[in-house]
Every structure is written in C-alpha cells, then in structure tokens.
Amino acid sequence: MDRVALRGLKARGHHGVFAHEREEGQTFIVDLVMSLDTRSAAADDDLTKTVHYGVVAEEVVAVVEGEPVDLIETLAERIAQTCLKHEPVQEVEVVVHKPDAPITVPFDDVTITITRSRV
C-alpha cells in the first residue's frame, strides 16, 4: 500500500472530562497516514482515483471543532471513521495530540495513536 500523510492539522476543540476544557477549549493537533493504492491515479493522473487530502483535512478539522467528547480516544476513532469513508483509503493511522492537557507536571505532549482499516 502507498501512504498519503497529513501532519500537523490544527483545530480548536472543546474535548475533555473537565468543565474548563469544555468551556474554554484548546488546540488539538492531528497527524494522519492513509494507506491506499495510488497506481491507478498515477497512471491516469486522475484525482478521482485517489484520496483528496484537502477534503480530508477539512473534514478532520470539522470533527475536531465539532461535538465535544470526553476522551481523545473517542476523537481519534471519529477521525479514523471519517477518513475511511473515502473509498480509496484502506487503512488509516491517526495520532491526536493534546499539548495543553490538564497535567500538573511539566510535559511536552499527550497523544493517542490508533490504526483502523476496512478489514
């Protein structure tokens, strides 16, 4: 399988278990690696035979900005399902970063990484 990657998609969401996370919101960063076969698209130079990563980016940002959830695990699952709605995408790895997580000790980032496939 070939891979199309989107890295560093940023959006403000209101996800988290604490009231202040839901009220104030925070920035989430999403990385995607979508697996698909791009040979036909490349041979014909045809966008309709591959995944339109610009559309995927907009859809992912809409998920992050959309309905709040408690867990970034749930957010990652919703993002994965959004990517898999695109027929050429056979598998997707989703990383959701929550760099402003409410942790009381110094840290760089909190992430969840999931992989989902059509199989």
pLDDT at 3 over 80: yes
Is 98 considered catalytic here? yes
Q: How many domains does the chain contain in total?
A: 1
pTM: 0.96
Separation of alpha carbons 24 and 79, rounded Å: 22
**Residue 94 contacts residue 111 (beta carbons within 8 Å):** no
- Could you tell me the CATH number of the domain that includes residue 26? 3.30.1130.10
pLDDT at 119 over 90: no
Percent above pLDDT 90 for the chain: 98
Separation of alpha carbons 97 and 67, rounded Å: 18
Q: Which of 10, 49, 85, 98 is catalytic?
A: 98
pLDDT of residue 22: 96
Separation of alpha carbons 37 and 49, rounded Å: 9
Q: What is the pLDDT of residues 82-116, one digit of tens each?
A: 999 999 999 999 999 999 999 999 999 999 999 99
Q: Could you say which DSSP state residue 66 is in?
A: S
Residue range(s) defining the domain that contains residue 73: 2-117
